[in-house]
Structure 1
């Protein structure tokens, strides 16, 4: 019998690797929160208020606020681990925007991005409310234990003790001890439930992760739409400004030859030869246009030979290094190819550079900061890899991403890279150098089957052949 479809798990069904709550450990966790509420809670609030109040004094409050933010980062990570290990709450690491650079300046920028993010302040609020929630059950526990101990001691050591005008007796004292103990343990159990519910409400869960993933996919979709629009405009411009006028000239030449074929055969033959040469030039233009859509050498031989062909055709000397073993996905290779192609075209037209350096490497786990931040990784998900493309030239600099409808090359590249979930960073101060750094999420390299050579190119004339190096 054919196998039926795989059962679809219910949304509320626990995952096989879902954490399990531990009630006794949760009681200890509430006691820890209560202890922190009378120590660290007031220290944290004092540092925060003092740092904010000291900001007008030549920003001296930063000396307090910067360490406080770093400590709050560690506290947020601690609360996520405690919620997962103790209370069985399936939390994820929230999305976080990071600076696209390195060094001390990027570290300060990361702190600033944390301070202006809602996720950071939600984790700070959760950390402090958890301490406040732990304070009251801990207080009731200590008072209840004291009352139970006192009543039990009286029941054993002084059963005939008189409290004012009332003599409760040993049985009443024993019942009072049991009641105080029950109230103490009940308050601690209520604290566990309150702490667990607070973690479920305020910490980022798998649902938040899915929402962030949907938001990132929306950003990617918009990037794909923008990239497709840019590509359509480029093809339309190339056809209108390049191929179409030459085809019109070719048709006019053939029309003139047809009108002269009887009266002036020699002149008609010259026009036919001219039309033949023009037809071969149009074929070359069409080949260039087809190569701009998706080059055949990229499909047939991979990224390294395709980029080598680009470097060989560049009028500016190019130093190329491709450290990518095997083949990547078609989309990743195409985006990397067009990033290098557009960058070399811009360098040749505008940079005035004497040398270009192109490095293509396969990096480790990819950080994917974008407009909406990097998406949270669910527990057990594999770490992605990233294809990094870095182009540096020694030109005059001054390149910027513009969307003014005139110079849209870098904007199109940004949209192409954004559609893959990656990002493109352009650094081009006046006077140079100009550095384009693209990070493209990619899967592990493989060796897919090759398509027949020339499957994407029109059949060329012998004089229009291209040599790939």
Structure 2
């Protein structure tokens, strides 16, 4: 699925146009017809749901009609009031044909923008109906006043006698009040559109900032991975290939003069070739472990725990047999978070026990690694210790967050939260479910003149 957001329209008009007044009249008429029918469909459908789900026969058409109505309201806000409409980002199906269309309709139901549009659609009709009703009453009073003034002359109401001029003034005031009420109705309609369906430029800026942050995380993660592969090839595989070539060269030189030595050299070259193949296999496994593709995240983490020289208490809880919501990217990031953490613990922590917990809920995958080592872990980008920096970039590229607590002498707790579903408007941002002594601190964004970043994670409070 991909996610898209749109903006339509121009800056709002400051004057009330004839189209806005006409919109109040049309909305008032619809409040007595379509608004009543829509509410009846909704209430009847909800009430009939317990009857073997028969209410779906009304709710499904109602939801489809509401999606059309929301689109019409957005276009009306642009055409009548000139309001720019920010359409919130939502998931879109990658399927084709009817299946893709149905999936798009389903995804739209899960967005806050759609339900705000539904609320606006009904409130706009109700408000327009109220203003139109009062305006029609004023129109009737104004018409009646002028009719009495022109055709019947003075009118006596009890002991009060109203002359033609008084009737004309009252009729004119009533007609003016009718126009004022229509104008107020147009202003109320514009206000509802601004508040419920236009969105804000701040929301778009937040989306752009989030996407830029994810992109930078992906770029940084790719750069770290490229440097790791270059280092492994240069420091590991390349010298062994050079040694293999030299051994074969010596064997070729000695094959005629000293066959026994040549045979021994060929045997050494054969063993070296197998060792190089092992190195290349390990390098490929570092890019994307084959066990992830073959057996899934649970088995891959179990293999990591089994290979660790420090005892690992592993607890994995994933949703369903197919691990719903987990894709190749998030599985890989979760795997490398655990792998890098276990590697760092084995090298630096002097720990005796490690606890790894992987939990998946409908919205996120939470990975928590805790050890009883000496603590003091920091995220550095000095070219010497970049393991946690690489993890930070990997997690950030998925839209997730990373939290770390590592007081000196108090062990280290590392927790990554990876989103597994599309963000819904109004949803709270994902954060590590850290205990009271942990803090998830946003990563700084400023860059220096060389384009590199100095990123650190705050640890204990």
TM-score bin (small chain): 0.5 to 0.7
Of 267, 270, 275, 2:264 maps to 270
SS of 1:302 mapped into structure 2: helix
Alignment partners' CA distance in 2, 1:221 and 1:238? 26
Q: Which residue of 2 aligns with 1:336?
A: 334
Q: Following the alignment from structure 2 to structure 1, what is the Cα–Cα distance between the partners of residues 393 and 156? A: 79
Q: TM-score, normalised by structure 2?
A: 0.54
TM-score by length of 1: 0.53
Give me the whole-angstrom Cα distance separating, in 2, the residues matched to 1:323 and 1:213.
31
Aligned partner of 2:166 in structure 1 is: 173
TM-aligned CA deviation for residue 349 of structure 1:
1.3
Tell me whether 1:194 sits opposite 2:187 in the alignment.
Answer: yes
The answer to whether the 8 A contact 1:23-1:192 is kept is no
2:413 equivalent to 1:435:
yes
| Alignment check: 8 A CA contact 1:303 1:337 kept | yes
Distance 2:214 2:197 in 1: 22
The residue that corresponds to 1:461 in the other structure is none
2:386 aligned with 1:408: yes
- Over 3 Å counting, the alpha-carbon distance change for 1:188 and 1:240 in structure 2 is same
**CA separation in 1, counterparts of 2:174 and 2:186?**
19
Cα separation, 2, equivalents of 1:407 and 1:155: 98
Instruction: Show the counterpart of 2:281.
Output: 287
Superposed CA deviations along residues 280-339 of structure 1, whole A, max 9, x for unmatched, are 222221111010011111101111111111111112211111111323311121111111
Instruction: Choose the corresponding residue for 2:353, options 339, 352, 355.
Output: 355
Gaps of 5+ in 2: 1-5, 10-22, 29-72, 90-130, 146-154, 423-461
Structure 1 SS opposite 2:157: helix
Number of equivalences: 290
Conserved 8 A contact 2:8-2:84: no
For 2:376, the equivalent position in structure 1 comes to 398
Unpaired segments ≥5 residues, structure 1:
1-8, 13-19, 25-82, 96-136, 161-168, 365-384, 445-469
Q: 3-state SS of the aligned residue for 2:360?
A: strand
Q: Does 1:304 align with 2:298?
A: yes
CA distance in 1, matches of 2:245, 2:290: 29
Partner of 2:157: 156
Distance 1:264 1:254 in 2: 14
Deviation at residue 202 of structure 1 after TM alignment: 6.7
CA distance in 1, matches of 2:404, 2:280: 31
Contact 2:8 2:85 in 1 (8 A): no
* Counterpart for residue 3 of structure 1: none
Deviations 1:438-459 (A, max 9, x none): 1212259xxxxxxxxxxxxxxx
Match of 1:375 in 2: none
- Structure 1 residue 200 displacement after superposition: 4.5
Range that drifts further, 300-309 or 323-332: 323-332
Equivalent residue number for residue 421 of structure 1: 399
Distance in 1, matches of 2:400 and 2:380, equals 19
1:236 matches 2:230: yes
Deviation of 1:271 (Å) = 2.8
Indicate the structure whose relative CO is greater, using CA pairs within 8 Å and at least 6 residues apart.
1
Deviation at 1:214, TM superposition (A): 4.2
Note closer, same or farther for the CA distance 1:267–1:339 as it changes in structure 2 (3 Å cut). same
Pairwise CA distance, 1:234:
0.8
For residues 190 and 395 of structure 1, do their structure 2 counterparts lie closer, same or farther at Cα, with a shift above 3 Å needed? farther
Q: Which residue number in structure 2 is paired with residue 47 of structure 1?
A: none
Aligned to 1:58: none
Q: Is the 8 A contact 1:317 1:355 kept in 2?
A: yes
Q: Considering fraction of residues, name the structure with more strand.
A: 2
- Tell me: CA distance 1:389–1:178, structure 2 relative to 1, closer, same or farther (3 Å): farther
Q: Does 1:320 align with 2:318?
A: no
| Secondary structure, counterpart of 1:255 in structure 2 | helix
The separation in 1 between residues aligned to 2:171 and 2:331, in whole angstroms, is: 72
* Contact 1:401 1:411 survives alignment (8 Å): yes
Q: 1:394 to 1:195 in 2, by over 3 A?
A: farther
CA distance in 2, matches of 1:156, 1:254: 123
By how many angstroms is 1:178 displaced? 4.1
Q: Is the CA contact (8 Å cut-off) linking 1:422 and 1:441 kept in structure 2?
A: yes
